[in-house]
């Protein structure tokens, strides 16, 4: 197939691109590099099926339209977004424009060419898990931050194009994802930040009490899930979750990563009002419809991530973290 990946030089995007190329598809990547580096796709640049890595902002409607005029896509994975909760609280307009408005522009192009779209939403749209059954696709949602609000708005637009125009569309909600290529600074995730601090010998800082929990999904498992959701015809017009079915508190995560090598500190939460206390995924729907299950344990995933972060310290051109 001819496949477009937006946000394809980003952390999860580059793993999605890798899987699609391994599956033999022709892949076009667009990204404005706002939160990523072209280096993330370096290892694919020699692949003859990688058609284009275009540095482009999705809000540039003219260029987007031209791309869809030039190329007939069969599938579009839409991962480009502003992803930081705190940034969305400080500057909601940027997140709204990148996550909702840009999604609308892309949807319009997909509608005109009848291109199936996989919309990358997030577990951050949910209210907290209330029991060990975990969060399934029927669980209550809550726009606790402008990031979650913008994603919910975009999800609804995507699904409306399925109902109103019959556009094949699926909304995927992966839980918190970690692994190699995630940024290790403020724009990254908790696992990358903790490992980076451990390797640098500086304390791990936990916001609040550290009792908040996350269901941490290894990035290769996440990418497989996202890609397979696009291949399936069963999920059009639907929402589907992916996670591991196990959650870990941030206190436990810090201990697992630190291994008593660096101190663990608790500091005041920067956005307590937008914190989700318990995120635990119920992924039965993905298992049933896609035969997808996560393969990598948290211990293996942390090891892989640590090896990768360590390797970036020795590069001649430092990885932008």
Ligand X SMILES: NC(=O)c1ccc[n+]([C@@H]2O[C@H](COP(=O)([O-])OP(=O)(O)OC[C@H]3O[C@@H](n4cnc5c(N)ncnc54)[C@H](O)[C@@H]3O)[C@@H](O)[C@H]2O)c1
Neighbouring CB atoms inside 10 A of 95's CB total 25
Q: What share of the chain is helix, strand, coil (3-state, %, to 5)?
A: 45, 20, 40
Known catalytic residue: 147? yes
Positions touching ligand X (CB under 6 A) are 7, 9-13, 31-36, 57-59, 79-83, 98, 102, 120, 122, 174, 176-177, 189
Chain centroid to CA 212: how far? 20
Place of tokens 């990204």: 31
Query: Which residues are registered as beta bridge partners of 282?
Result: none
Nearer residue to ligand X within complex by CB, 36 or 244: 36
Nearer residue to ligand X within complex by CB, 21 or 217: 217
Identify which of 154, 147, 62 has the alpha carbon closest to the alpha carbon of residue 103: 154
Active-site residue (options: 77, 126, 147, 178)? 147
* Closest separation in Å from C-beta 201 to ligand X: 26
With CB atoms as reference, the residue minimizing the distance to ligand X is: 10
Q: Residue 177 and residue 105: Cα distance in Å, rounded? A: 26
Q: Residue 108 and residue 272: Cα distance in Å, rounded? A: 36
Nearer residue to ligand X within complex by CB, 11 or 194: 11
Nearer residue to ligand X within complex by CB, 98 or 274: 98
Which residues 6+ apart lie within 8 Å of 202 measured at CB?
262
Neighbouring CB atoms inside 10 A of 136's CB total 16
* Closest separation in Å from C-beta 242 to ligand X: 9
* Closest separation in Å from C-beta 263 to ligand X: 26
DSSP assignment letter at 273:
G
* Closest separation in Å from C-beta 309 to ligand X: 15
Active site residues: 147
């Amino acid at each position: 197939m001819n496949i477009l990946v937006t946000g394809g030089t980003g952390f999860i995007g580059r793993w999605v691109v890798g899987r699609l190329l391994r599956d033999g598809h022709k892949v076009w990547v667009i990204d404005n590099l706002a939160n990523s580096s072209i280096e993330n796709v370096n290892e694919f640049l020699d692949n003859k099926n990688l058609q284009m890595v275009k540095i482009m902002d999705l809000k540039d409607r003219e260029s987007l339209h031209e791309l869809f005029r030039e190329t007939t896509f069969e599938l579009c994975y839409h991962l480009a977004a502003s992803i930081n909760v705190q940034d969305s609280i400080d500057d909601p307009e940027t997140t709204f424009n990148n996550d909702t408005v840009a999604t609308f522009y892309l949807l319009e192009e997909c509608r005109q060419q009848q291109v199936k779209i996989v919309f990358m939403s997030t577990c951050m749209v949910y209210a907290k898990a209330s029991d060990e059954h975990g969060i399934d696709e029927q669980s209550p949602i809550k726009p606790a931050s402008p990031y979650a609000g913008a994603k919910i708005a975009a999800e609804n637009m995507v699904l409306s194009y399925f109902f109103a125009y019959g556009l094949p569309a699926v909304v995927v909600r992966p839980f918190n994802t970690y692994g190699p290529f995630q940024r290790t600074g403020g724009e990254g995730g908790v696992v990358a930040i903790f490992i980076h601090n451990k390797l640098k010998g500086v304390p791990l800082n936990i916001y609040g009490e550290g009792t908040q929990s996350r269901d941490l999904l290894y990035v290769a498992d996440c990418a497989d899930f996202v890609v397979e959701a696009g291949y399936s015809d069963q999920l059009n017009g639907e929402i589907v979750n992916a996670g591991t079915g196990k959650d870990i508190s941030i206190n436990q995560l810090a201990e697992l990563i630190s291994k008593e090598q660096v101190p663990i500190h608790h500091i005041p939460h920067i956005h307590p009002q937008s914190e989700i206390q318990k995120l635990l995924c119920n992924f039965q729907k993905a298992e049933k419809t896609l035969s997808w299950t996560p393969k990598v344990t948290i211990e293996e995933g942390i090891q892989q991530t640590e090896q990768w972060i360590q390797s970036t310290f020795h590069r001649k051109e430092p990885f932008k973290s």
